[in-house]
Chains A and B, each alone.
Chain A
């Protein structure tokens, strides 16, 4: 299928073109702040749709959807960050996030023809649902995306870090009855697996087989925070703001948020000049090796980080070591913190893409690894070839020695 396919308005797909349009991007905000991931998603939606509208000679919109109480001021910012339209549901009962209420209101907005006609009258007549819908892959969005997509009866891919819109020809035993079938404007959703080395492309596709014929829209995904760049905000950008009066059921108000406490993390990467991280390279002796890492960190006055697989507690370590070090708060990468210390030491970390995304802005990077072919070599300034259990004690000894020299001097 060629890349430059243009919609000719033929009957076969015209109805579908008009029935499903735009990308709806679900915003998150907490304690008066729009979350960075929301602006990142808007940025990616903007880039995708600038290209999409040019390629398909269409005029589909990037629609930011925001729910909350007293949030009217956010709309302008969302337009500056790339939204063509902001749908704003401002209501006292939307002050707290409650999954049931939020799911219903987002679904109402997604199905509302009046909103659709305000977004773009040209597409409103046949409008059934959005074409695509994006959520954040975080504690709120991951669950919210799941429930919304059940309500909208469509498909969802989670934890995505790359998106491409393409015309595909797919043969699927069940969906297409084994026949090659064209699927225009399909969202390819790339998901890195837990190891960070494999990419799975997930598609949300209609069933064309007659016995199970079904149209699956919107094509939904949740997007990993920190992956996409927001666009440079432009105060001159103009856009439409649509206020939506949500319908909230009495019964759903029985769910109450009793308290909301901000908690300080026991891990703070910001206040340290250095971060020492470890990965699966600890595996031969997790307890002993983590103690070595801790010793090195102490000498460098560094915070301790880990790679994602370590947080899954799959390596045997004592309870105290595991609960101190193998915790999600220490993860460096797209699923954890993005940091930029003056010194970053990666011990026994191979350098999967998702980890690199979290540390590549460090000023100076040292890797300790026995495999000179591991990807981390491309991301460091010094590569110390060797096993961490052999190298770290030497580094610690040398650091102590130089410390003494300084003190003696």
Chain B
């Protein structure tokens, strides 16, 4: 049986972990002072692809659209999923692309520049820095793959060439729902943040260790696996990518105005025992008030 052919879409993002992230005094992100890293949701997508490699055997290609230094994201993703191929689509013309134009770039890379037809493409749920979770499904639609979103676990039936995925639906005003969906390959899976890989058998755990070691070694020499494509090398239609291919633009960025005070706060001093007593008394009072709701 042919091993699965998998691709993972990843993104370099600001590193929001403490110590690496920098906020301006007004609470907004200071992008210049903030380091970059593989986006956490991209990392989960890479983990999900690694699961298929351990369980079924797979060839994994990871791709990203971004500036030259976005190869950092590919290196980190390779360390996670033991990727065989790394692609970076990098050109000044791609800059400023919205999700539709980004999806066109990624689609072209996956269809034209990766070997063979893909069985599953993975993406993260969304990026942490303001990207919107649209790139995954938009790439899926352009690829013509069945899109499965909010996936918390999945398995592949190699003989039937199908996937069964559990998807978590969080909807406002109603309880959460988990649906189990079966779909023929190829599929595009967008991974929910609560995704977990379950390695149940001894042979899976042995394979896990083996590939993890391999991933670590490979990532040390990630440049051997890396191929960078500019716009001409990618061969993408220039009017469909970058700003020219983006229907949407960011028109303006402003501070959200402070709302009018809805309550008149009594300010208490947190180091004054008398004030603390008062605060507790008020809290108790609030809890014992007869309120008909």
**B149 & A380 in contact (Cβ 8 Å cutoff):** no
A200 at interface, CB cutoff 8 A: yes
Task: Produce 1/0 per residue, B268-293, CB < 8 A to A.
Answer: 11110101110111111011010101
Q: Which of B16, B148, B260 contacts A378 (CB under 8 A)? A: B260
Q: Are B174 and A99 in contact (CB under 8 A)?
A: no
A394 pairs with B173, CB closer than 8 A: no
Q: Is the CB of A265 within 8 A of B251?
A: no
Q: Mark B134-174, 1 if CB is under 8 A from A, else 0.
A: 10111011100011111000000000000010001111111
List residues of chain B with CB within 8 A of the CB of A394: 270, 273, 276
Q: How many residues of A contact B (CB 8 A)?
A: 117
Interface residues of B (CB under 8 A from A): 16-18, 21, 23, 26-29, 40, 98-100, 103, 128-130, 132-134, 136-138, 140-142, 146-150, 164, 168-184, 190, 193, 239, 242-244, 246-256, 258-271, 273, 275-277, 279-284, 286-287, 289, 291, 293
In the A-B complex, the 8 residue pairs with the smallest Cβ-Cβ separation, listed nearest first, are A386-B270, A155-B247, A364-B286, A225-B172, A378-B261, A146-B137, A158-B132, A314-B16
What are the interface flags for A240-255 relative to B under an 8 Å C-beta threshold, 1 for contact and 0 otherwise? 0000000000000011
**Contacts known (A156-B99, A402-B284); A103 close to B141, Cβ less than 8 A:** yes
Q: How far is the CA of A142 from the CA of B99 in the complex (A)?
A: 13
A256 touches B129 (CB 8 A): no
Bound-state Cα–Cα, A37 to B104, Å:
31
What's the minimum C-beta distance from A220 to chain B, rounded to whole angstroms? 9
- Main SS at interface, chain B: mixed
Contact with B along A196-236 (1 / 0, CB 8 A): 11111111110101011010100000000110000000000
Contact with B178, one of A30, A263, A366 (Cβ below 8 angstroms): A263
Cross-chain pairs A/B with CB under 8 angstroms, 11 sampled: A139-B150, A150-B103, A202-B250, A216-B247, A262-B177, A263-B175, A312-B16, A316-B18, A366-B282, A391-B276, A398-B276
With A255-B182, A259-B180 already in contact, the answer to whether A201 and B251 are too (CB < 8 A) is yes
- Residues on the B chain within 8 Å of A142, using CB: 132-134, 149
Give the docked Cα–Cα distance between A350 and B26 (Å).
11
Contact present for A254 and B249 (CB under 8 Å): no
**Contact status of A159 and B132, CB under 8 A, knowing A143-B147, A314-B18, A328-B170:** yes
- Cβ of A377 within 8 Å of any chain B Cβ, yes or no, is yes
List residues of A whose CB falls within 8 A of some B CB.
28, 30-31, 33, 35-37, 96, 98-100, 103, 136, 138-140, 142-143, 145-147, 149-151, 154-159, 168, 170, 172-175, 188, 192-205, 207, 209, 211-212, 214, 216, 225-226, 254-265, 273-274, 283, 300, 312-316, 328-329, 340, 342-343, 345, 350, 352-353, 356, 360, 363-368, 372, 375, 377-387, 390-391, 394-395, 398-399, 402
CA distance A353 to B259 in the complex (A): 8
Chain B residues whose C-beta falls within 8 Å of the C-beta of A226 in the assembled complex: 172
| Bound-complex Cα distance A300 to B283 (A) | 9
Interface centre among A312, A384, A391, A399 (most CB of B within 10 A): A384
A374-B268 Cα distance, complex, nearest whole Å: 15
Of A37, A201, A273, the contact of B252 (CB 8 Å cutoff): A201
Question: Interface on chain A toward B: helix, strand, loop, or mixed SS?
Answer: mixed
Contacts of B253 in A (CB 8 A): 198-201
A96 to chain B, nearest CB (A): 8
Give the residues in chain A near B243, CB-CB below 8 Å. Answer: 173-175
How far is it, in angstroms, between the C-alpha of A245 and the C-alpha of B98 when the chains are bound?
Answer: 34
Residues of A within 8 A of B184 (CB): 254-255
* Residue from B255, B264, B282 in contact with A198 in the complex, judged by beta carbons closer than 8 Å: B255
Q: How far, in whole Å, are A283 and B293 apart by their CA atoms in the complex?
A: 35
When C-beta atoms are compared, the residue in chain A nearest to B98 turns out to be A155
Known: A138-B172, A150-B141. A200 touches B270 (CB 8 A): no
A340 to B129, CA, bound (A): 30
Q: Do A391 and B270 have beta carbons less than 8 Å apart?
A: yes
Instruction: Considering the complex, give the chain A residue whose CB is closest to the CB of B41.
Output: A312
State in angstroms the CA–CA spacing of A159 and B273 once bound together: 44
Do residues B134 and A156 form an inter-chain contact, with CB atoms below 8 A? yes
Given B147, B170, B281, which contacts A99 in the complex, CB threshold below 8 Å? B147
Report yes or no: A211 in contact with B283, Cβ–Cβ below 8 A: no
Q: How far is the CA of A353 from the CA of B260 in the complex (A)?
A: 11
Q: Which residue of A170, A315, A340, A366 contacts B251 across the interface (Cβ within 8 Å)?
A: A170
CB distance from A112 to the nearest CB of B (A): 20
Give CA–CA (A120, B80) in the complex, Å: 55
Given A103-B141, A150-B141, residue A260 in contact with residue B280 (CB < 8 A) = no
